[in-house]
């Protein structure tokens, strides 16, 4: 009997075509705005045009008069029910509808619920708000000033705009390393504010059923179970009477993790109107008010021996969190996993000092494929490495190779206490250097410069912590960060799988089935996967920070294995032999020594309902909760070649090579898709995409004319390579990859441009490297900063 | 009247102008009374329940709302429903026949040209319009033609491959025919 | 995202359009492609009481060359009609600009004449037409009149049409000798507003420039008329000296403002660079042709 071909049944390693596609290509996806409930009303939100002001009065009387308006809500409406403020995921509070002040341009001030969104919008125009403007803060340096206005005067005991101080590492040992260093390399820079901006904005349909007391909310949420818990706390409704349904999501990238005022307002509106209330925000609202990413300033230093060995690393980061501290991250880490920086390098000592500030901007900071601030950690790392290699007069690749953790050092304890799992960093470097033509580049560059052309090459290498995380160290508001899978095999051998994750395009309906196919030999096409409904899905912490393959995927494998263990008992019963004499091959148990004699997994499934051995419960299902023993650590080595037009500052990507080692790849096609998507976002941030502010706190980047996503025309092509080093502690050896390219990518582009203009002596140009900034660097030989406010004539 | 009842709605507010439009959508005439300010995307999504066309921005930038009007791609968020009166509109729901997917749809599945699926309907319709004019485009020509449709997930490389896959299949089908 | 209410007419003749405008007391807006007006309606930057849609007048859908070489562009000629046109060989500036307007989808609806009427300081067509010495044909109750585009744009988003006039056509005069030109635009991505763009249109007799036109977008509160500045080229042939002189003169005419796209000096520098590049490209092609 020929064994099953794992690739043919859609097991691990198969580039299985996606199940999700069947509905999306027909336009039959079901996104929040596609859902219509009987009697549904529509909500629009009035937002503050000013960045910092006292609210003197709000007059909604004319709005109530607009035909078709059913309800108008202000901060007063919310306050009457103790809902004007709500807790954030970082133990702060956030205004739902403003009461005393507005603290950022775009803050929610009032809401209108009407028969259709056009009427709701008409009514917004009728609301009259009187603002008394206050001085505005648009960067953390302003926030630090003793003369700065106090933004969070709503908080008791808040006497400044500082949110936190946080530090980790060995300061004394690191100071000693710097004292002993032959060379100290220093770089200051800003990772600008960016925004995940999935094409679909955030929205909800809240439906409170007075008869049953049940609240159902359709919501653009990457973490529906967290939302259920939060709504239970905030709205004081019993948790079992709350159902959060995350249907198809048009992208997430971390933007759809937090709980936004719009959701809470729509819930109260449904309770008050006794009708379903739909709120779908427009793009401007999404960009100006929902969870942004980044906005961190770095003072970074490396202590170096003259042969290039790193003796110590110091980082001082200052982060701009907006008006409320609403970072979505494991709660005890104020600056996320910033301390995962330099994890791929063998460094004896390091110290990180971090300060966070309130400013008059929308709140957030942890989002946009950042793996909890790891985008910042690795961008800072590779910009520091680039500067240090230059300061030493060393080749960029050789400097990295000298310091990279070697294969024989795993598991490796980093200076900040992380334990990295496995890797072949040197091999990845080699593969990339070969592919980009690294060895001949210097000559190519010199010859081009003689012809007046500026070529540059940039490298970015990193390992990052995915799969948060182990319950000893990781929690969000006290909830531990495990994840789950519930697998049920029907009597005909087909199966249904539900997990606590929530795909926003990552293809879980396709890939989770592949894990089950691998473990049980049930063809992937025979397994349906569901996620996102808290009434049916087992509890999970959702999908963000590339945690789903490492955690939920592991749970899928474990649930499958437990089912296989039970099926083995059934097989023994069917074959009338002892369990010890049973062997397993893909999809089948057979008698040891007599391979012809066996039963399939499908035979066992049928027997689970019709022919059970004594003492064993019928049915064939299992729910597994997976508490990961450790984080997983994929590695990336990216190489970027650019040409800079010295007369205009415009730069083009000539070639981009990406080497990714994310361990075992469940579906290579999907892995590559994730890498290319992440590289495009990296390119966007490096080239054109950012949010900034003028002196009055007006947001520049609150629409797609100012916040620039690259199109198919500008976006370069990418050459992808793979190295596979399995994760030693993950059931299927996979590490996760969703954010790697966004984490490692930006530095490759920036280092390449900096290399092209190296002859000017410029150390740093802040992202995005727009033509005017590159040109300014070329002309002045000085660093170019992107810190707001942006000045204009 | 073919339905059993027709609920009498609240009378529209005084002085609100309403126009009767007939739009041919995916081959079928649809007649609807609309306010002139109603955007075509909302006519399709709400009046006609064709939710495959998506709304993704407010500055006519993203192209998620792209449909074909008289064969040319238009951003339906920037066309008034009344302007579609007497016109032929094709949405993503009109791509497949009862039994077969359009080669463009097949290409997007085959070459992993979508992830979250939100930009996909608009992307496919822009591609269809391109291939009608240019059945054998280069990669650059595909990228240029799709530069009015934004995607956040894929990085475009597989979208280009999907369109080229479809172009090849359509050329082969036309040769056989 | 949602326009406020307006009344709507879709007449079938230009005369009807004028009649409606005449009765509207200035409260009506004409809509052609709608790719500039509808976004303004959605953001409520514009809330006209009445919209007059001219898409029901197929006689306005044309662009053609008269026997004397004049290019006439009807009010419903779409950007993409010009992008894919096969008859613009003698209008290189226009041909080069046509694929740079907005993005490919907007170009199927948006119109050339509508874009001129919109009078956006960053508009590609306004700059092109001022460089070409083009005109708008306005039609009102008293008949038609021609308005030079340089006089047609009064300020940002303000044009010279009377409240009861509609623009029905744009005219581009023929070159007297050989028509050469170019259009360069610095945009960070397709569909972006121009950081700076330059339109150059020349008439050449042999190797001597007999007429020179130039206009700039994105470097001032309105489209910059640099015709006088580039007139330093007239009577000269192409060489590095004359090109440099022209580029410096045009750059001096720009009125750029510092903003998040760049400093005013950067934008001025881009203008100078683009003029140099356009003229150098022309000079090189001419040399090759000769």
Tell me the pLDDT of chain B (177 aa) as tens digits.
567 877 776 666 677 899 999 999 999 999 999 999 999 999 999 999 999 999 999 999 999 999 999 999 999 999 999 999 999 999 999 999 989 999 999 999 999 999 999 999 999 999 999 999 999 999 999 999 999 999 999 999 999 999 999 999 999 999 988
Q: What is the pLDDT of residues A244-297, one digit of tens each?
A: 999 999 999 999 999 999 999 999 999 999 999 999 999 999 999 999 999 999
The CATH number linked to B123 is: 1.10.150.120
Instruction: Compute the nearest-CA separation of B1 from chain A (Å).
Output: 23
C-alpha span between A97 and A324 (Å, rounded): 13
Which residue in the set A31, A673, A703 is minimally distant from B115, CB to CB? A673
**Does B115 share its domain with B52?**
no
Q: Do B148 and C109 touch (CB under 8 A)?
A: no
Across the interface, of B72, B78, B149, the residue whose CB is closest to C35 is: B78
CA atoms A71, A77, A81, A87: torsion sign: positive
Closest-approach residue (CA) in chain B for C80: B72
Instruction: Based on the fold, state whether residues B119 and B57 are members of the same structural domain.
Output: no
- How far is the C-alpha of C99 from the C-alpha of C107, rounded, in Å? 8
Indicate if A293-468+630-780 has the same CATH topology as A32-134+201-249+256-289: no
Q: Cα A129 vs. chain centroid, distance in angstroms?
A: 36
Interface membership of A669 toward B (CB under 8 Å):
yes
We find that the CATH architecture of domain A293-468+630-780 is 2-Layer Sandwich (3.30)
CB contacts < 8 Å between A and C, how many? 66
- Whole-angstrom distance, CA of residue A407 vs CA of residue C10: 73
For residue C188, give the nearest of A708, A792, A793 by CB distance.
A708
Instruction: Measure CB to CB from residue A27 to each of B52, B56, B148 and give the nearest one.
Output: B52
Contacts of C258 in chain A (CB under 8 A): 791-793
Tokens of A486: 């519930």
**DSSP class of B92:** G
pLDDT at B13: 64
pLDDT value of position A2 = 78
Q: How far apart are the CA of C51 and the nearest CA of chain B, in angstroms?
A: 9
Decide if C88 contacts C177 (C-beta within 8 A). Answer: no
Task: Scan residues 74-113 of A and list those with Cβ closer than 8 Å to B.
Answer: none
Q: Which of the four CATH numbers 3.30.2270.10, 3.60.21.10, 3.30.365.10, 3.40.50.150 does domain A21-28+483-626 have?
A: 3.30.365.10
With an 8 Å Cβ cutoff, are B120 and A250 in contact? Answer: no
Give contacts of B35 with chain C, Cβ < 8 Å: 5
What is the 3 state secondary structure string of chain C?
CCCCCCEEECCCCHHHHHHHHHHCCCCEEEECCCCCHHHHHHCCCCCCCEEEECCCCHHHCCEEECCCCCEEEECCCEHHHHHCCCCCCCCHHHHHHHCCCCCCCHHHHCEHHHHHHHCCCCCHHHHHHHHHCCEEEEEECCEEEEEEHHHHEEECCEECCCCCCEEEEEEECCCCCEEEEEEEEECCCCCCCCCEEEEEEEEEECCEEEEEEEEEECCCCCCEECHHHHHHHCCCCCCHHHHHHHHHHHHHHCCCCCECCECHHHHHHHHHHHHHHHHHHHHHHHHHHC
A506: which chain B residues are within 8 Å (Cβ-Cβ)?
115
Are residues B87 and B42 part of one domain?
Answer: yes
Contacts of C43 in chain B (CB under 8 A): 58-59
Q: Do the chains contact at A775 and C257, CB–CB below 8 Å?
A: no
pLDDT band with cut points at 50, 70 and 90 for residue A438: very high
* Cross-chain Cβ contact C5/B35 below 8 Å: yes
Model confidence pLDDT, tens digit, residues A564-582: 999 999 999 999 999 999 9
**For an interface test with A, which of C39, C184, C189 has the most A Cβ atoms less than 10 Å from its Cβ?**
C189
Task: Check residue A736 and give its pLDDT.
Answer: 94
Range of the domain at B51: 19-94
CA dist A501 and A503 (Å) reads 7
Which residues, at least 6 apart from A103, have a Cβ–Cβ distance to it below 8 Å? A51, A52, A95, A151, A152, A323, A324, A360
Assess whether B24 and B89 both reside in one domain: yes
Query: Right CATH number for A32-134+201-249+256-289 from 3.90.1170.50, 3.30.1330.10, 3.40.50.720, 3.20.20.70?
Result: 3.90.1170.50
- Confidence (pLDDT) at A786: 96
Between A3-12, A400-409, B13-22, C75-84, the lowest mean confidence (pLDDT) is in: B13-22
pLDDT category of residue C274 using cuts at 50, 70 and 90: very high
Does A351 score more than 90 pLDDT?
yes
C-chain residues within 8 Å CB-CB of B77? 42
Is 70 exceeded by the pLDDT of residue A768? yes
Where residue C207 falls among pLDDT bands split at 50, 70, 90?
Answer: confident
Residues A411-437 have a mean pLDDT of: 98
pTM equals 0.97
State chain A's mean pLDDT as an integer: 97
Report the domain count for chain B. Answer: 2
What's the rounded mean pLDDT across residues A49-65? 98
pLDDT (tens digit, 9 = 90+) per residue, A94-114? Answer: 999 999 999 999 999 999 999
The CATH number of residue B46's host domain is 3.10.20.30
What pLDDT does A774 receive?
Answer: 98
- Report the pLDDT value the prediction gives residue A234, as an integer from 0 to 100: 80
Q: How far is C107 from chain B (nearest CA, A)?
A: 9
Q: Do C106 and B39 touch (CB under 8 A)?
A: no
Interchain proximity B80–C109, CB inside 8 Å: no
Chains near B (3 or more Cβ pairs under 8 Å) = A, C
Contacting residues of B for C46, CB less than 8 Å apart: none
Nearest to A673 among B53, B57, B154 (CB): B154
How confident is the model over C93-104, as a mean pLDDT? 97
Is A652 in CB contact (< 8 Å) with chain B? Answer: no
Task: Determine which of B36, B156, B161, B165 to mutate to test the interface with A (most A C-beta atoms within 10 Å).
Answer: B156
Q: Which helix H or strand E contains A289, and what residues bound it?
A: helix A283-289
In the predicted model, is pLDDT for residue C201 greater than 70? Answer: yes
Contacts of B79 in chain C (CB under 8 A): 34, 38, 109
Beta-carbon separation of B58 and A282 below 8 A: yes
pLDDT at C100 exceeding the cut of 80: yes
- pLDDT tens-place string over residues A702-756: 999 999 999 999 999 999 999 999 999 999 999 999 999 999 999 999 999 999 9
The string over A386-415, giving b where at least 16 C-beta atoms fall within 10 Å of a residue's C-beta and e elsewhere, is bbbbbbbebebbebbbbbbbeeeebebebb
Domain assignment of residue B48, yes or no: yes
The answer to whether residue B69 sits within a structural domain is yes
Contacting partners of chain C (3+ CB pairs under 8 A): A, B
Nearest to A20 among B53, B117, B159 (CB): B117
Checking if the pLDDT of A488 tops 60, the result is: yes
For chain B, first and last CA: distance in Å? 43
In a domain, B12, yes or no: no
Q: What is the per-residue pLDDT across A640-683, written as a single tens digit (0 to 9) for each?
A: 999 999 999 999 999 999 999 999 999 999 999 999 999 999 99
Shortest alpha-carbon distance between residue B145 and chain C (Å): 6
Chain B positions contacting chain C at CB under 8 Å are 16-17, 19, 35-37, 39, 58-61, 63, 66, 72-75, 77-80, 82-83, 85, 126, 144-149
B115/A677 Cβ within 8 A: yes
Q: Which residue has the tokens 């849609």?
A: C53
> Euclidean distance between the first and final Cα of chain C, in Å?
55
pLDDT tens-digit series, residues C151-162: 999 888 999 999
The domain boundary residue, chosen from B45, B60, B94: B94
Pick from A687, A714, A792: which is nearest to C258 by CB?
A792
Partners of B52 on chain A (C-beta within 8 Å) are 26-29
Range 689-718 of A in CB contact (< 8 A) with B: 703-705, 709, 711-713, 715, 717-718
Claim to verify: residue B40 and residue B63 sit in the same structural domain = yes
pLDDT of residue B10: 67
Distance in Å, alpha carbon of B47 to nearest chain A alpha carbon: 12
Determine, yes or no, domain membership for B7: no
For residue C12, what are the CA distances in angstroms to A374, B69, C52, C270? 61, 20, 11, 45
**Lowest-pLDDT range of A35-39, A313-317, A472-476:** A472-476
Last residue of a domain, one of B31, B62, B94: B94
- Hey, where are the domains in chain A? 21-28+483-626, 32-134+201-249+256-289, 293-468+630-780
Determine the residue of chain B that is closest to C9 in CA distance. Answer: B36
Predicted local distance difference test score (pLDDT) of residue A36: 98
- If one counts every other C-beta atom within 10 angstroms of the C-beta of residue C14, the result is 17
Strand order in the sheet with A128-133: A101-102, A53-59, A128-133
Residue at a domain's end among B41, B68, B94: B94
Say if the Cβ atoms of B118 and A251 lie within 8 Å: yes
A119 contacts A68 by C-beta, under 8 angstroms: yes
Chain C residues close to B59, C-beta within 8 Å: 39, 43
Q: Do A25 and B109 touch (CB under 8 A)?
A: yes
Residue contact B79–C43, C-beta within 8 A: no
- What is the least distance, in Å, from the CA of A647 to any CA of chain C? 7
Q: Which of B78, B145, B146 sits opposite C38 (nearest CB)?
A: B78
Query: Which residues of A are annotated as catalytic?
Result: 222, 369-370, 739
On whether both B84 and B45 belong to a single domain, the answer is yes
How much is the mean pLDDT over chain C?
96
- C120 φ/ψ angles, rounded to the nearest 5 degrees: -75, 130
Strand B19-25 versus strand B88-90 pairing type = parallel
- Does pLDDT of A1 surpass 80? no
How far is residue A433's CA from residue C6's CA, in Å, rounded to a whole number?
62
Q: Quick one: B129 and B86 in the same domain?
A: no
Residues of B in contact with A679 (CB under 8 A): 155
Closest-approach residue (CA) in chain C for A689: C188
């Amino acid at each position: 009997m020929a064994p099953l071909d794992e690739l043919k049944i859609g097991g691990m390693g198969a580039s299985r075509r996606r199940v999700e596609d069947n509905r999306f290509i027909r336009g039959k996806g079901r996104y929040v705005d596609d859902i219509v409930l009987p009697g549904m009303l529509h909500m629009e939100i009035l937002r503050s045009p000013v960045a910092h002001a006292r609210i003197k009065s709000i007059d909604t009387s004319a709005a109530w008069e607009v035909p078709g308006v059913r309800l108008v809500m202000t901060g007063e409406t919310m306050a009457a029910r103790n809902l004007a403020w709500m807790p954030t995921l970082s133990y702060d509070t956030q205004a739902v509808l403003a009461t005393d002040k507005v603290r950022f341009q775009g803050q929610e001030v009032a809401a209108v619920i009407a028969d259709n969104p056009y009427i709701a919008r008409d009514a917004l125009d009728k609301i009259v708000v009187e603002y008394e403007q206050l001085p505005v803060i648009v960067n953390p340096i302003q926030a630090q000033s003793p003369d700065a206005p106090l933004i969070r005067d709503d908080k008791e005991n808040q006497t400044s705009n500082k949110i936190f101080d946080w530090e980790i590492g060995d300061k004394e040992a690191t100071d000693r390393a710097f004292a002993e260093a032959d060379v100290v390399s220093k770089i200051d820079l800003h990772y600008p504010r960016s925004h995940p901006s999935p094409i679909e904005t955030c929205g909800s349909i809240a439906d409170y059923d007075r008869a049953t007391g049940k609240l159902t909310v359709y919501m653009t949420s990457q973490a529906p179970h967290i939302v259920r818990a939060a709504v239970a706390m905030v709205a004081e409704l019993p948790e079992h009477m709350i159902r959060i349904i995350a249907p198809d999501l048009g992208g997430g990238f971390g933007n759809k993790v937090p709980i936004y005022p719009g959701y809470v307002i729509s819930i109260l509106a449904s309770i008050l109107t006794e009708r379903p209330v739909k709120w779908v925000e427009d793009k401007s609202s999404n960009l100006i008010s929902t969870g942004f990413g980044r906005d961190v300033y770095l003072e970074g230093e490396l202590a170096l021996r003259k042969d290039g060995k790193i003796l110590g690393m110091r980082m001082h980061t200052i982060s701009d969190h907006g008006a409320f501290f609403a970072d979505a991250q494991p709660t005890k880490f104020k600056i996320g996993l910033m301390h995962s920086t330099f994890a791929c390098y063998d460094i004896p000592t390091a110290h990180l000092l971090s300060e966070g500030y309130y400013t008059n901007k929308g709140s957030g900071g942890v989002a946009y494929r950042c793996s909890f601030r790891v985008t910042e950690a690795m961008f800072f790392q590779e910009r520091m490495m680039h500067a240090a290699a230059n300061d030493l007069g060393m080749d960029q690749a050789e400097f990295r190779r000298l310091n990279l953790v070697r294969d024989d050092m795993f598991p490796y304890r980093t200076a900040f206490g992380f334990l990295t799992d496995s890797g072949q960093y040197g091999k990845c470097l080699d593969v990339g250097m070969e592919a980009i033509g690294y060895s001949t580049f210097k000559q190519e560059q010199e010859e081009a410069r003689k012809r007046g052309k500026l070529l540059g090459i940039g490298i970015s290498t990193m390992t990052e912590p995915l799969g948060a995380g182990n319950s000893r160290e990781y929690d969000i508001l006290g909830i531990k960060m495990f994840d789950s899978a519930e697998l049920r095999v029907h009597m005909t051998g087909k199966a249904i799988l539900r997990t606590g994750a929530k795909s926003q395009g990552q293809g879980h309906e396709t890939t989770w089935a592949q894990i089950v196919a691998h473990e049980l030999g049930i063809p992937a096409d025979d397994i349906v996967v569901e996620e996102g409904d808290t009434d049916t899905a087992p509890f999970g912490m959702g999908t963000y920070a590339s945690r789903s393959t490492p955690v939920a995927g592991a749970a899928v494998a474990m649930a499958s294995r437990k089912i296989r263990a039970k099926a083995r008992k059934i097989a023994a019963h069917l074959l009338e032999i002892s369990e010890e004499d049973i062997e397993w091959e893909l999809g089948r148990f057979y008698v040891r020594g007599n391979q012809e004699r066996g039963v399939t997994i499908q035979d066992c499934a049928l027997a689970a309902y019709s022919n059970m051995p004594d003492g064993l419960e019928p049915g064939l299902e299992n729910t597994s909760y997976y508490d990961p023993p450790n984080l997983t650590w994929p590695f990336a080595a990216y190489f970027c070649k650019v040409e800079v037009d010295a007369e205009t500052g415009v730069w083009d990507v000539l070639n981009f090579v990406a080497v990714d080692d994310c361990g075992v790849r469940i579906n290579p096609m999907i892995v590559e898709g994730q890498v290319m998507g992440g590289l495009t976002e990296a390119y966007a941030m490096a080239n054109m995409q950012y949010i900034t502010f003028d002196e009055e706190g007006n947001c520049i980047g609150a629409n797609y004319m100012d916040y620039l996503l690259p199109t198919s025309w500008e976006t370069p092509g990418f050459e992808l390579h793979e190295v596979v080093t399995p994760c030693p502690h993950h059931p299927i050896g996979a590490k996760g990859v969703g954010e790697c390219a966004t984490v490692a990518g930006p530095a490759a582009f920036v280092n390449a441009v900096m290399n092209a203009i190296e002859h000017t002596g410029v150390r740093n140009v802040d992202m995005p490297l727009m033509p005017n900034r590159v040109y300014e660097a070329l002309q002045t030989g000085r660093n170019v900063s992107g810190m707001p406010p942006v000045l204009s004539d | 009247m073919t339905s059993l009842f027709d609920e009498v709605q609240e009378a529209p507010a005084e002085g609100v102008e309403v126009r009767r439009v007939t739009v041919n959508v995916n081959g079928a005439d649809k007649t609807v009374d609309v306010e002139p300010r109603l955007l075509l995307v909302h006519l399709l999504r709400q009046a006609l329940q064709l939710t495959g066309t998506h709304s993704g921005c407010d500055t006519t930038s993203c192209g998620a709302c792209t449909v074909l009007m008289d064969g040319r791609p238009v951003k339906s968020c920037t066309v008034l429903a009344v302007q579609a009166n007497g016109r032929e509109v094709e949405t993503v729901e009109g791509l497949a026949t009862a039994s077969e997917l359009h080669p463009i749809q097949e290409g997007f599945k085959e070459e992993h040209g979508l992830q979250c699926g939100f930009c996909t309907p608009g992307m496919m319709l822009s591609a269809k319009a391109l291939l009608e004019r240019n059945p054998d485009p280069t990669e650059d020509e595909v990228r240029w033609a799709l530069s009015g449709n934004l995607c956040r997930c894929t990085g475009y490389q597989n979208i280009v491959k999907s369109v080229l896959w479809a172009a090849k299949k359509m050329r082969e089908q036309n040769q056989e025919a | 995202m949602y326009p406020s209410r307006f009344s709507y007419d879709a007449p079938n003749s230009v005369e009807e359009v004028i009649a409606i405008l005449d009765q509207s007391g200035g409260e009506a807006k004409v809509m052609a492609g709608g790719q500039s007006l509808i976004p303004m309606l959605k953001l409520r930057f514009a809330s006209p009481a009445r919209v007059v849609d001219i898409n029901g007048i197929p006689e306005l859908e044309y662009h053609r060359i008269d026997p004397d070489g004049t290019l006439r562009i009807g009010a419903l000629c779409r950007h993409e009609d010009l992008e894919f046109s096969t008859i613009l060989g003698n209008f290189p500036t226009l041909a080069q600009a046509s694929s740079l307007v907005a993005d490919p989808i907007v170009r199927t609806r948006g119109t050339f004449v509508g874009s001129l009427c919109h009078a956006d300081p960053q508009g590609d067509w306004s700059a092109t037409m001022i460089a070409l010495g083009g005109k708008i044909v306005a039609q009102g109750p008293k008949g038609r009149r021609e308005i030079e585009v340089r006089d047609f744009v009064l300020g940002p988003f303000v044009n010279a049409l009377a409240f009861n006039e509609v623009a029905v056509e744009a005219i581009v005069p023929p070159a007297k000798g050989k028509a050469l030109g170019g259009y360069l635009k610095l945009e960070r991505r397709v569909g972006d507003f121009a950081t700076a763009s330059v339109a150059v249109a020349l008439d050449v007799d042999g190797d001597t420039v007999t007429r020179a036109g130039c206009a700039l977008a994105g470097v001032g509160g309105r489209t910059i008329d640099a015709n006088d500045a580039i007139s330093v080229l007239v009577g000269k042939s192409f060489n590095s000296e004359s090109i440099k002189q022209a580029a410096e003169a045009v750059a001096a005419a720009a009125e750029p403002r510092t903003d998040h796209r760049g400093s005013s000096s950067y934008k001025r520098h881009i203008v100078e660079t683009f003029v140099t590049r356009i003229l150098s490209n022309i000079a090189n092609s001419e040399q090759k042709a000769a």
